[in-house]
Amino acid sequence: MKVLRSLEPEDTDTAFLIREFWEPLLFGWNFPSWLIDEAIKQHFNWTTIVRHLQGGQVAHWVRGVMMYLSTVDQKSMLKQLTVMAMTESEPTVEQEELRLMLLLDGFEVSDRKLVSVQGPISVTQERNRVLTNLASSSFARKDVIATHLKEAEDQFSSGKMHVSMGQSRSAFQAGVEDAVALVEKKISRKAGSGLKNQVVFLREENFLSADEEAAFLAAWGFLSAGAHPGLPPDEVGRIGLIFGLEFIQVVMIKAKNLV
């Protein structure tokens, strides 16, 4: 919504000029007539238009009968509007926020299309799954973990990749520590301090396999590394978020067998 609004020139200060700007632009992007009609009807108020498309509320007259467009058609317009907004806009804070949010969902804009990034994983969908499972888990600090994950995503969206990585690392560490606490309670043996010792402890107690132990330690190493040569910062932040989410999911699922 913000990026679409930013496209409109400042001197379009009348309804006529606003329509003169938007109608050719939408036509040039091959938007169907029903979408252009809806935009005109809503006076090019993109907050309202996007909300109506998201809610499946857009309809038009067909031979005297009011017909609602299919949800698929309306959602496809949201994608096309996103591509237009990214392509037509100048580099701004709002545009960068939109780009990063798309990256979290596993997409980027290329050649006037919305395409999946390499190894597509929607961080937003994964986060929702993890938070749902976390809410019903027996982890003592599930609220703390959820806060770290949300903060990691917020910082990523703001372009603060180093801070985002720190939050992902904190969530990862808290997930391992809560799993360790559950195992300790069951066997009456302490794991010791330090994440490496705790991961080894989980493998020794058959909570993790040897391969999983190596994977957890490798992920921890990635999250803790000060530099990642050859990786753009936004990819580092996205991968860090994925590691935090997926490894927390692993220990949560395994922990269900302990209670």
Q: Token pair for residue 99?
A: 């780009």
> CB–CB of 52/58 below 8 Å?
yes
- Mark whether 225 and 104 lie in a shared domain: no
End of a domain among 67, 95, 116?
Answer: 116
- Mark whether 105 and 127 lie in a shared domain: no
Whether the predicted pLDDT of 122 surpasses 70: no
> CB–CB of 157/104 below 8 Å?
yes
Write the DSSP string, 180-199.
HHHHHHHHT----SSHHHHH
- Mark whether 130 and 254 lie in a shared domain: yes
- Mark whether 86 and 151 lie in a shared domain: no
CATH code at position 216: 1.20.120
- Mark whether 92 and 202 lie in a shared domain: no
- Mark whether 104 and 70 lie in a shared domain: yes
- Mark whether 44 and 127 lie in a shared domain: no
**Domain count within the chain:** 2
Q: How confident is the model at residue 21 (pLDDT cuts 50, 70, 90)?
A: very high
End of a domain among 116, 140, 157?
Answer: 116
- Mark whether 127 and 244 lie in a shared domain: yes
The pLDDT assigned to 213 comes to 96
- Mark whether 65 and 92 lie in a shared domain: yes
The pLDDT assigned to 118 comes to 59
Domain that holds residue 229: 123-258
Q: Rounded distance, CA 164 to CA 68, Å?
A: 42
- Mark whether 82 and 130 lie in a shared domain: no
Q: Classify the phi-psi angles of 114: left when phi > 0, otherwise alpha if psi is within -120 to 50, otherwise beta.
A: beta
- Predicted confidence (pLDDT) per residue in 54-111, tens digit: 888 887 665 566 666 777 788 889 999 999 999 999 988 899 989 888 888 878 888 8
For the full predicted model, state whether its pTM sits above 0.75. Answer: no
